[in-house]
Amino acid sequence: MAIYSFPYFIDSNTKVLILGTMPGAMSLEKQEYYAHRRNHFWKIICTLFDALPIPVNFEEKIKILKENKIGIWDVLENCERKGSLDIHIKNHKENDFENLFKQFPKIRNIIFNGKQSHAFFIKKFGKIEGITYHVMPSTSPANTMTFENKLKIWTECFKQN
């Protein structure tokens, strides 16, 4: 059975685009990016931008991203997958990044939330001129790296942007 990604949250001010691979089961159920309670994404973002405690409301979370000129989307538009792990993805289709970058030309940095999102993107689109790529440790609970280590690496990335 095919599963589908969410619409992007990007506006004309977006300079940094964070890309996951595909929403996990809990995110699909709640219809929110990074909805699994053990996913570190929102804790990292809220820590980086002094927005703790993490808002409960998804729209408030998106507001934090937009205030900091950050957009969010997934590399894949749809795929087949059992469970939430990227290694189980098959029969996938990528989102339309050619048109996205034409529509939002201020995007100059892509932060990949995990190696798999980067791998899927590179395989289809390669290196796009004028855009800097950063591959971060996945914020997923499947990545057993500590929150502190993830935060340190993500913090270094945002210092560069």
**CATH number at 2-160:** 3.40.470.10
- List, by residue number, the catalytic residues: 39
Per-residue confidence (pLDDT) for residue 64, from 0 to 100: 98
DSSP label of 70? E
Per-residue confidence (pLDDT) for residue 88, from 0 to 100: 84
Total-model pTM: 0.96
- Give residue-wise pLDDT tens across range 32-42: 999 999 999 99
The two tokens of residue 131 are: 């855009």
For the chain, residues with pLDDT lower than 70 are 161
Q: What residues does each domain of the chain span?
A: 2-160
CA 89/CA 83 separation, integer angstroms: 9
